[in-house]
Structure 1
Amino acid sequence: MRKHAVLLTVLFALIVTLVTVTAVFWEFYKLNKQQYINNIFTKYSVITQIYREHKQRESSEIMFEANLAVYKFRIEKDINEQKLILSRGDILKQEGFKKETVFLNKKELYFSRKVENLRATMLEYSYSIFFYIQSPHGHILIEDEELRPYRPWNILYSYTTIMAIISILFILILQRLRPLIRLRRKIAQYGDGDMNISFKTDGKDEIALIATELENTRIKINTIMESRTLFLRNVMHELKTPIAKGTIATQMLKSQKQIDRFSSIFGRLESLVGEFALIEEVTCINDKSDFKEYRLVDIIDGAIDMAMVDKDCVSVEIPGSKKVFANYRLYTTAAKNMIDNGIKYSTDKHVKVVIKNNELCFESKGECIRHPLKYYIEPFTKDNPSKNSFGLGLYLVDSILKAHDEVLAHEYDDGINRFIFA
Structure 2
Amino acid sequence: MIKRHAVLLTVLFALTVSLVSLSAIFWEFYKLNKEQYINHIFTKYSVITQIYREHQQRQSSEIMLEANLAVYNLEVTKDEKLKKEIFEKGKILKREGFKSFNTSLLINDKGLYTKNVVTNLRATMIQYKRNIYFHIETPNGDILIKDNELKPYSYINLLYSYITIFMIISLSFILILQRLRPLIRLRKKIELYGNGNMDISFKTNRDDEIGAVANELEHARQKINTILESRTLFLRNLMHELKTPIAKGTIATQMLDSQKQRDRFSSIFKRLETLVTEFAMIEEVTSLDDKKDFSEYRLLDVIDGAIDMAMVDKEHVTMKISGKIKVHVNYRLYTTAIKNMIDNAMKYSTDSHITILMNDKNELCFESKGECLAHPLQYYIEPFTKENPSKNSFGLGLYLVDSILKAHGEVLAHEYENGVNRFIFA
* TM-score, scaled to structure 2: 0.95
Partner letter of residue 85 of structure 1?
I
Partner of 1:338: 341
Partner SS state of residue 253, structure 1: coil
User: Structure 1 residue 199 and structure 2 residue 202: aligned?
Assistant: yes
Q: 1:121 to 1:366 in 2, by over 3 A?
A: farther
Quick one: which of 136, 142, 146 aligns to 1:143? Answer: 146
Partner letter of residue 38 of structure 1?
N
User: What is the CA distance between 1:196 and its match in structure 2?
Assistant: 1.4
CA distance, structure 2, for counterparts of residue 241 and residue 23 of structure 1: 82
Partner of 1:267: 270
Partner of 1:12: 13
CA distance, structure 1, for counterparts of residue 122 and residue 418 of structure 2: 95
Q: CA deviation digits over 1:93-112, x for unaligned, max 9?
A: 12112111211122243322
User: Structure 1 residue 79 and structure 2 residue 80: aligned?
Assistant: yes
Q: CA deviation digits over 1:299-358, x for unaligned, max 9?
A: 111111111111111111112121111110001111111122123222222211111212
Partner SS state of residue 105, structure 1: strand
Partner of 1:386: 390
Partner of 1:367: 371
User: What is the CA distance between 1:135 and its match in structure 2?
Assistant: 2.1
Partner SS state of residue 112, structure 2: coil
Partner of 1:162: 165
Q: 1:415 to 1:73 in 2, by over 3 A?
A: farther
Q: 1:411 to 1:99 in 2, by over 3 A?
A: farther
User: What is the CA distance between 1:36 and its match in structure 2?
Assistant: 0.8
Gap runs ≥5 in structure 2: none
Partner of 1:65: 66
Q: 1:92 to 1:412 in 2, by over 3 A?
A: farther
CA distance, structure 2, for counterparts of residue 420 and residue 90 of structure 1: 81
User: What is the CA distance between 1:42 and its match in structure 2?
Assistant: 0.7
Q: CA deviation digits over 1:215-257, x for unaligned, max 9?
A: 1111111111111001001111111111122222222333333
Partner of 1:243: 246
Partner letter of residue 52 of structure 1?
R
User: Structure 1 residue 408 and structure 2 residue 412: aligned?
Assistant: yes
Partner of 2:356: 353
CA distance, structure 2, for counterparts of residue 321 and residue 14 of structure 1: 53
Partner letter of residue 231 of structure 2?
R
Partner letter of residue 75 of structure 1?
V
Gap runs ≥5 in structure 1: none
CA distance, structure 2, for counterparts of residue 341 and residue 93 of structure 1: 95
Partner of 1:172: 175
Partner letter of residue 251 of structure 2?
I
Partner of 2:316: 313
Quick one: which of 379, 393, 400 aligns to 1:396? Answer: 400
User: Structure 1 residue 216 and structure 2 residue 239: aligned?
Assistant: no
CA distance, structure 2, for counterparts of residue 411 and residue 138 of structure 1: 102
User: Structure 1 residue 47 and structure 2 residue 24: aligned?
Assistant: no
Aligned residue pairs, count: 422
CA distance, structure 1, for counterparts of residue 345 and residue 120 of structure 2: 107
Partner of 2:189: 186
Compute the RMSD of aligned alpha carbons: 1.5
Partner of 2:289: 286
Partner letter of residue 176 of structure 2?
I
CA distance, structure 2, for counterparts of residue 303 and residue 414 of structure 1: 27
Partner of 1:96: 97
User: Which stretch of the first structure deviates more once superposed, 367-376 or 326-335?
Assistant: 367-376
